[in-house]
Amino acid sequence: MCDPVSAIVGGLQVVGGMAEGRAARGQARANAAHSAAIEANRHQNYALQIDYQQRLAEFQENQYLEYGASVQESVSAQFGAVMTNLDQQQRKTMQNINAASQKAATGMAFTAASAAESGVTGNAVLQSMNAYQQAEARASSIEFENYRSSMRQAQQNALAYRARAQSQLNRALPSPLPPVQLPDPVGAVGQPSMTPYLLNGIAQGITTGYGVAADIKALEG
């Protein structure tokens, strides 16, 4: 027959084991809530970093586009100046050629009139005529060569302007932004089972109960 004192003591041990199990479960719930808060905070920080990086990328892109438009405007102005100068050079060339042609025509007309007035004919007149024609040809050749040189220089300037603009755009190109690292996962916190605590309480209760019963018997004896 079970001794009442032993039964009470054993029951208390079981109750104590249940209390320990509940306390462990409460601590586990608190740890789980803390881990969940850490996890939520990490994900929030990750989302904020992603948003910041996207805004920074858009800002850099807008800055680059504005700078590119400025560079393009500058290059267009330089190209316009090159073409204007070349157009002026072309007009000057044609004016000089026309002037040389007019001078030759005037000289040849004067020679012809003088020869007719004086009655001179033959090689002397032809040589004078040829001299005017050759002078006109030389002047025209020089003017055309000068204009071709201007065209070559204009082409070189245009290529240099374009290369300089491309270099400026390449230097201003924003560097790629570093990737945002995913947050490390927080380990899950499991809920402890009550079984180990109950078994431990029962075992302690049985051991304590037997001990108390032995002590009582010893006192009664």
The pLDDT confidence band at residue 51, using thresholds 50, 70 and 90, is confident
Whether pLDDT at 139 is above 90: yes
Residue 19 within a domain = yes
* pLDDT above 90 as % of the chain: 33
Which residues span the domain enclosing 55? 4-173+193-220
Domain assignment present for residue 49? The answer is yes
Give me the number of domains the chain comprises.
1
- Mean per-residue pLDDT, 175-183: 78
- Asked, for residue 186, whether it belongs to a domain, the answer is no
Residue 16: the pLDDT is 56
**182 part of a folded domain:** no
For residue 4, pLDDT over 60 is answered with no
Which of 22-31, 112-121, 141-150, 166-175 ranks highest by mean pLDDT? 141-150
Instruction: Look at residue 113 in the predicted model and tell me its pLDDT.
Output: 86
- pLDDT-derived band at 105 (thresholds 50, 70, 90) equals very high
Tell me the pLDDT of the chain averaged across its residues. 77
Tell which wins on pLDDT, 101 or 3: 101
Is 185 contained in some domain? no
pLDDT of residue 87: 92
Give the C-alpha separation, 84 to 193, whole Å.
91
Q: What is the mean pLDDT of residues 29-57?
A: 78
pLDDT tier at 199 (50, 70, 90 boundaries)? low
Which of 43-52, 57-66, 198-207 is predicted most confidently?
57-66
pLDDT over threshold 50, residue 73: yes
pLDDT reported for residue 34: 66
Model pTM score = 0.56
**Across residues 134-156, what is the average pLDDT?**
93
Q: How confident is the model at residue 100 (pLDDT cuts 50, 70, 90)?
A: very high
Residue at 111 is within a domain: yes
Is 123 inside any structural domain? Answer: yes
What pLDDT does residue 95 have?
95
